[in-house]
Homo-oligomer: A and B are copies of this chain.
Amino acid sequence: MSEQFDFITLGETMVRLSPPGFQRIAQTQSFDFQIGGAESNTAINLAWLGFKTAWLSRMPDNALGRKVVSLIASHGVDTRGVRFVPGERVGVYFIELATPPRPNRVIYDRAGSAASRMATADVDFDRIAQARWLHMTGITPALSESCRAMTADVFRFARARGLTISFDVNYRSLLWSAQEAGCALEPLMSLCHYVFVAHRDAVALFGAPEAPRQAAEVLRRRFGCGVLVMTLGEAGAIAQTESQQIEVSQSFKVSQVVDRIGAGDAFDAGFMAAQRWGLSLEASLHYGNAMSALKLTIPGDLALFSKDDVDQLVGGATRASVR
B64 touching A74, Cβ below 8 Å:
no
Query: Given A17-B17, A63-B94, A264-B323, A304–B100 Cβ distance below 8 Å?
Result: no
Q: Which chain B residue shows the least CB distance to A293?
A: B101
Copies of the protein in its oligomer? 6
Taken together as a complex, chains A and B put the C-alpha atoms of A103 and B30 apart, in Å, by: 23
Q: Of the candidates B103, B300, B304, B313, which one forms a contact with A318 in the assembled complex, judged by CB atoms under 8 Å apart? A: B103
Residues of B close to A67: CB separation below 8 A = 25-26
A100 touching B253, Cβ below 8 Å:
yes
A258 touching B313, Cβ below 8 Å:
no
Within 8 Å of chain B (Cβ to Cβ): is A254? yes
Within 8 Å of chain B (Cβ to Cβ): is A145? no
Residues of B close to A17: CB separation below 8 A = 17, 31
Within 8 Å of chain B (Cβ to Cβ): is A162? no
Contact string against B for A residues 265-295, beta-carbon threshold 8 Å, 1 for contact and 0 otherwise: 0010000000000000000000000001110
Complex interface: stretch among A105-113, A129-137, A178-186: A105-113
Within 8 Å of chain B (Cβ to Cβ): is A208? no
Query: Given A73-B74, A298-B24, A304-B26, A101–B252 Cβ distance below 8 Å?
Result: yes
**Interface SS of A by simple majority:** loop
Q: Of the candidates B64, B99, B252, B294, which one forms a contact with A258 in the assembled complex, judged by CB atoms under 8 Å apart? A: B99
Taken together as a complex, chains A and B put the C-alpha atoms of A298 and B253 apart, in Å, by: 23
Shortest distance between the CB of A54 and any CB in chain B (Å): 15
Within 8 Å of chain B (Cβ to Cβ): is A71? yes
A253 touching B101, Cβ below 8 Å:
yes
Within 8 Å of chain B (Cβ to Cβ): is A98? yes
Residues of B close to A2: CB separation below 8 A = none
Taken together as a complex, chains A and B put the C-alpha atoms of A253 and B312 apart, in Å, by: 27
Q: Which chain B residue shows the least CB distance to A34?
A: B29
Residues of B close to A318: CB separation below 8 A = 100-103
Q: Which chain B residue shows the least CB distance to A101?
A: B252
Residues of B close to A26: CB separation below 8 A = 63, 66-67, 70, 304
14 of the cross-chain contacts (CB-CB < 8 Å) are A26-B304, A27-B304, A31-B33, A89-B111, A92-B92, A99-B258, A99-B297, A100-B320, A101-B252, A101-B254, A233-B320, A255-B255, A255-B256, A267-B323
